[in-house]
Amino acid sequence: MNDRFDIFPVGVIRKQNGDVWIEIFEKYGDALLGLDDFSHITVCYWFHENDNHEKRNTLQVHPRKDKNNPLRGVFATHSPLRPNLIAISICKILSIKDTTIFIEKIDALDGSPIIDIKCFIPSRAL
């Protein structure tokens, strides 16, 4: 088994004046074919602002940064501090134009790199 993997961005999250969209890089535009048949997408992105040795080696946190919450392992939380900085959100598609996907909202920062997008199929969610 490989102990390292190559992951590269396929796009970027943009937020401005309450609008949220995903810009897919031109070379991946053909991968959007048929996505407009779906109402939601699963967006995998990178917690890029936590990409340093200290934050990637944090293994326990107080959920929601609240010391009143009991300490938990990061795999039992939604904390952005984790060994691999992969984040996943399910987003409602508002529209798609060329290589831009307009979405309702996402819990991500402007400029977050997109590492993958998948169509969301509710019957496969559980």
Q: What is the pTM of this model?
A: 0.90
Count of other CB atoms within 10 angstroms of residue 13? 23
- On whether the CB atoms of residues 27 and 84 are closer than 8 A, the answer is no
Residue found under tokens 């929601």: 64
Report which residue type is found at 86.
I
49: tokens are 């602002």
pLDDT of res. 63: 93
Rounded to 5 degrees, φ, ψ at 104 are -70, -50
Judged against a pLDDT cut of 90, whether residue 124 lies above it is answered with: no
Sequence ranges of the chain with CATH classification 2.40.30.70 = 9-47+85-119
pLDDT band at 25 (very low <50, low <70, confident <90, very high): very high
Q: Is the pLDDT of residue 1 over 90?
A: no
Q: What average pLDDT does range 17-22 have in this prediction? A: 97
Second-level CATH architecture of 9-47+85-119: Beta Barrel (2.40)
Neighbours of 44 (CB within 10 A): 17
DSSP code of 55? H
64 class by beta-carbon count within 10 Å (0-12 exposed, 13-18 middle, 19+ buried): exposed
Cα(116)–Cα(24) distance, integer angstroms:
10
**What is the C-alpha separation between 110 and 72, in angstroms, rounded?**
28
